[in-house]
Amino acid sequence: MLNHTVPEALMPALLLAGVAVCGSAQANEGPTAYLPGATTGIPIGALPPPGVYVAGSVYTPYGEVVDGDGNTTPIMIANHSASINVTWASPYTILGARYGASATQIAAVHVFDAKKVGGNSSSTTGLFNTIIQPVILSWDVGSDVHVSTAHAVYLNNGQYSSRNGVRSEKAFANNYWSYQPSVAVSYLPKNWNLTANFLFTTNSINRETHYRTGDTFYADFTAARTSGKTTAGLIGSVVQQVEDDRVRGVRAGNGNRTQHFMAGPMIAHDFGKFSLSARYLANLHSRNDINLDIAFLTISGKL
């Protein structure tokens, strides 16, 4: 059985589907498919009780672009984002695991400012690639340990534009498909949530620019304790691109391998019908991307 020492309203599968929430870190050609830290604060190894869950989030990933040597540039990028997620936690089992599925859509105001280096400044509203998770499986393996696996697909849609075969700074979505399997482990003894979620993203090629973003590993971590109806703790995120970016099969620049380390606090409260959570991840280290800080505010509940 699911361990209910973590308030039920704080673990809806809509947040579990945060495994697919995306579209904020500006990589060398475009946003990374997965938003680092999206599943922090959640006991994502355990599906909640059967039902349909909905979550709305607002979050702002922002920062200055950092080059491959770790040097900060004057180019600023921010995405003032909102997402809606619907997740079905079913009563059915497959291979001894609870089954679920989800879908997520993100919209954002994408701000790009390169005026300090003689470039352009723009602000564009758009939709990111639609994310679907047709398979979420969660096992209760005993001794308060839960293990889940999920499989996310990022559709090739959303706000994208290019100019002369080069991605436009006004583009928000990616002009390619991404596939992302993940494995999460949650240890949920009384009043505690100790969770690690490991994700791997592989991308198809952008056929307009002939650019392929290299495969990337992500890990989200949570250590939180519940007292009454309030949960507080520490969260962290690691991003390491493990394959070079390539253009027409040739390595792009120095490979443009994105790297991030982030950490920060979280707090959430169960109001009964819904829960409200706030999380903050501060940049500790970045390369080939934004020196990323992310602030999240999420409201979620069961229909």
Provide the pLDDT for residue 287: 85
* Measured distance CA(203)–CA(179) in Å, rounded: 7
pLDDT tens, residue by residue, 259-300: 999 999 999 999 999 999 999 999 999 888 888 889 999 999
Provide the pLDDT for residue 116: 79
Provide the pLDDT for residue 138: 98
Provide the pLDDT for residue 71: 74
Provide the pLDDT for residue 91: 97
Residue 125, beta-bridge partner list = 109
Q: In what order do the strands lie in the sheet with 246-247?
A: 211-212, 246-247, 250-251
Sequence-ordered strand ranges (E) for the chain: 51-66, 72-94, 97-113, 121-127, 131-142, 145-154, 162-163, 166-167, 178-187, 192-203, 211-212, 216-227, 230-241, 246-247, 250-251, 259-270, 274-287, 289-290, 293-302
Provide the pLDDT for residue 28: 53
Provide the pLDDT for residue 3: 32
pLDDT, averaged across the chain: 86
Provide the pLDDT for residue 119: 78
Q: Where are the domains of the chain?
A: 8-302
The tokens describing 40, both together, are 């922090």
Ranges of the chain whose pLDDT falls below 50: 1-27
CATH number of this structure's domain 8-302, picked from the four choices 3.20.20.70, 2.40.160.40, 3.40.50.360, 2.60.40.3500: 2.40.160.40
Provide the pLDDT for residue 221: 98
Helix (H, G, I), strand (E, B) or coil at 171: coil
Provide the pLDDT for residue 4: 31
Please enumerate in sequence order all residues whose Cβ is within 8 A of that of 211, keeping only pairs 6 or more positions apart, or say none. 29, 167, 205, 245, 246, 247, 252
Provide the pLDDT for residue 17: 32
* Measured distance CA(97)–CA(88) in Å, rounded: 14
- Backbone phi and psi for residue 54, each to the nearest 5 degrees, phi listed first: -130, 140
Provide the pLDDT for residue 291: 84
